[in-house]
Structure 1
């Protein structure tokens, strides 16, 4: 199996394949012959000296082998993740706000909380949960089927932090259209929120920052406006941005300025997950939403 033919179409010759695998060419040849003998079929087209490629049977075998190898990797990951989740409560999210909010309360949570700060692509939510990589993922939509379910937690909405000398700072509330042509400091990875602000603020420029530290430093020494949310406005990183500055917080009153937040998890994990998501210290009390910052 060390000489698995999936590499051969990429390198074309036995010598190139051997060089890539860092083994002797005879070893490649023996491995190929042994594989054909085990399967009882011919996998390679050897019509040109020292050049080799998979025949139709070989292509099918390579594709099926790739599936098997993927299943083996998934099996290994699932076992390791299962063992890890017995001792740790791992959470991830499609958007950053819920993670920052939860991280601020980590000392109050009875379980060993581990936060995955890399935002999850919506298309990967089911795979991440099924493979036990995460115990719960914060999503911007409800997922309910035979395997998963979602618990509604509340809404996140944006607020504008703007220089007090800007005329908009005098308003009690603004709309997205009021922000036309402004230049904003934003974090590069904010998940679904990025599309919302870019689609609803005409002709705006967005100065994307890769890290929270860069965002904080630039905001302290510039007059560019930036966004916070009801989940992040009281967090230490946000408060730090106001030091040495003269900014005010303005409400954004716009129908597009809201996002429902759900905790999504495997149904069989309900008894483990729901106590955390409904914990009183998170502000979840019957009709009261989890994210209780005003």
Structure 2
């Protein structure tokens, strides 16, 4: 029993005639007839009632078609799953503490290695380093140079945190604010912002957070909300909040330096991408 025979049964049932099925399958009608006869011999029963040139599925044939279609669905799922597994195996895996430096790494990869795919997971710094050290990830993106044996790191990007405010907010005209100034404020905030979320939770006492996990919805709400929001100077966020005051946060913790980390023995595309990122960081 072969997959081709499963497809042939399906085509005959859908199209109603051997000739139409043969045309769709790009084989001759005699070849299709012989294939079906072999299948019937293997199953030990006839699948069609034949009357001259006409054929019609019998009960066994209808059961065979139903089974064939289930097998073909399973085959499709198998192919999709295998293709996805192959793609994951070929992709570069990144464990990152924040989204913006991942986008920076993606831009570097597309510039030099456009055929490569990056798969990422947002984790804390300890987990990111564990993954890269164990080989579970090709890269870690961290907030500090780990200075660990067996690992190498280079500076990837800087990112600075700002607060955005409605024009009538008391702090809207300030040149800068501190985290302490923002105590007890209400913030509209994206959920998946990596280490920045933990930082503001710790740094701003009494704050209330209204979470949004859809970036498009967040962008729309951020234009008109009466609440504070956060923004950084990452390229994708520039000019993202028209009509609002954008005020720098002065605390040292609001100024992040991200590092790209990989194993010292990294080879192939991973090693070449790290070298490219390090070269770009020095430029």
Relative to the length of structure 2, the TM-score reads: 0.59
- What residue in structure 1 maps to residue 226 of structure 2? 223
Alignment of 1:114-129 (within 5 A): 114-129=117-132
In 1, Cα distance between equivalents of 2:88 and 2:163: 43
In 1, Cα distance between equivalents of 2:165 and 2:116: 34
The partner residue of 2:170 within 167, 170, 173 is: 167
Deviation of 1:158 after TM superposition, in Å, equals 0.4
Does the 8 A contact of 1:81 with 1:131 survive in 2?
A: no
Q: Secondary structure at the match of 2:184?
A: coil
Alignment of 1:53-64 (within 5 A): none
The partner residue of 1:99 within 80, 97, 102 is: 102
Deviation of 1:230 after TM superposition, in Å, equals 2.4
The partner residue of 1:194 within 197, 204, 208 is: 197
- What residue in structure 2 maps to residue 84 of structure 1? 89
- What residue in structure 1 maps to residue 211 of structure 2? 208
Deviation of 1:239 after TM superposition, in Å, equals 5.0
- What residue in structure 2 maps to residue 278 of structure 1? 278
In 2, Cα distance between equivalents of 1:204 and 1:256: 17
- The answer to whether 1:140 aligns with 2:147 is no
Q: How many residue pairs align between the two structures?
A: 196
Does the 8 A contact of 2:154 with 2:278 survive in 1?
A: no
Does the 8 A contact of 2:173 with 2:245 survive in 1?
A: no
Deviation of 1:241 after TM superposition, in Å, equals 4.2
C-alpha change, 1:171 and 1:276, in structure 2 (3 Å) is same
- The answer to whether 1:268 aligns with 2:268 is no
Does the 8 A contact of 1:82 with 1:132 survive in 2?
A: no
Does the 8 A contact of 2:124 with 2:195 survive in 1?
A: no
| Gap runs ≥5 in structure 2 | 1-84
In 2, Cα distance between equivalents of 1:220 and 1:104: 27
- What residue in structure 1 maps to residue 247 of structure 2? 250
C-alpha change, 1:266 and 1:133, in structure 2 (3 Å) is same
Which 10-residue stretch deviates more, 113-122 or 135-144?
A: 113-122
Structure number having the greater helix percentage:
2
The partner residue of 2:187 within 184, 188, 192 is: 184
In 2, Cα distance between equivalents of 1:264 and 1:180: 35
Deviation of 1:205 after TM superposition, in Å, equals 0.8
Deviation of 1:106 after TM superposition, in Å, equals 5.7
Which 10-residue stretch deviates more, 170-179 or 155-164?
A: 155-164
In 2, Cα distance between equivalents of 1:149 and 1:117: 19
Alignment of 1:8-23 (within 5 A): none
Relative to the length of structure 1, the TM-score reads: 0.57
In 1, Cα distance between equivalents of 2:210 and 2:88: 42
Does the 8 A contact of 1:92 with 1:117 survive in 2?
A: yes
Does the 8 A contact of 1:189 with 1:210 survive in 2?
A: yes
Does the 8 A contact of 2:189 with 2:212 survive in 1?
A: yes
In 2, Cα distance between equivalents of 1:223 and 1:103: 34
Q: Which has the larger radius of gyration?
A: 2
